Amino acid sequence: MKDLDRHLRAAVGEFWSTRNSQAQRGAASDRGSRSAVTGGAQMDGFVRLVRALLIEDARVPDPEIHTKGQVKLPGYFRPEKEWDLLVVCRKRLIATIEFESHIGPSFGNNFNNRTEEALGSACDIRTAYREGAFVPGPDPWLGYLMLLEDAPGSRHAVKVSEPHFKVFEEFRESSYARRYEILLTKLVRERLYNSACLLLSGPEAGRRGAYTEPSEELGFANFARSLVGHALSFMQEM
């Protein structure tokens, strides 16, 4: 897709604008900032962008891309799991993607939850594929996109607890932003996910579409190339 950065900035801006609108509606009804967490739709701009890439660059038919409603897949350790975007072409599972965000002020507990969810989802679907849950075909492409709030709480170094054993050295004095970078890099290099993307953005500049990418390996362009290449290869074989 041409002007990929411009489209990505639009998705970032939409994220913060949607979140702000949800928070304002929540405050008006005395539900507080909780509505900005549970309101949903904040990642829709990213979902539309990826959908457009699949249609325009990989020539995937629009009806084969699922983002609402029919987005559940069978698991191996649980009956089913709902994904954010699926590509199912001619009964074959081509790709699955999770779109996540992590906004403060609580970065600690939520980071651990995101880690467990990402690991569990990948292990579940990979094992389900191995055990024949889907029509025989190529390994499905798994992707994970995270937008993390660029804030002091995500940037400052965090102490580790070592009551019995030492943690791995890369986690020592690491911020939550750095921990997400380590997590997503390892998820890809351990081949649990085919590609992952990490974006950092703050609420003020973010409304204008500003973001940073702490790692080229986890950049959106790399993420998009991997997905489009996989989908295009499949479509050319059809």
In this predicted model, what pLDDT tens digit does every residue of 125-138 receive, in sequence order? 999 999 999 988 88
Beta bridge partners of 85: 97
Per-residue pLDDT 10s for the chain (238 aa) are 679 999 999 999 999 999 988 888 765 454 444 434 434 689 999 999 999 999 999 999 999 999 988 999 999 999 999 999 999 998 999 999 999 999 988 898 799 999 999 999 999 999 999 999 998 888 999 999 999 999 999 999 999 999 999 999 999 999 999 999 999 999 999 999 999 999 999 999 999 999 999 999 999 999 999 999 999 998 987 7
Give just the sign of the alpha carbon dihedral 10, 67, 37, 23: positive
In angstroms, the CA 151 to CA 91 distance is 43
- What is the 3-class SS of 72-106, one letter each residue? EEECCCCCEEECCEEEEECCEEEEEEEEEEECCCC
Task: Tell me the whole-structure pTM to 2 decimals.
Answer: 0.91
Give residue 138's pLDDT: 85
Q: Mapped to the 3 state alphabet, what secondary structure does 185-197 carry?
A: HHHHHCCCCCEEE
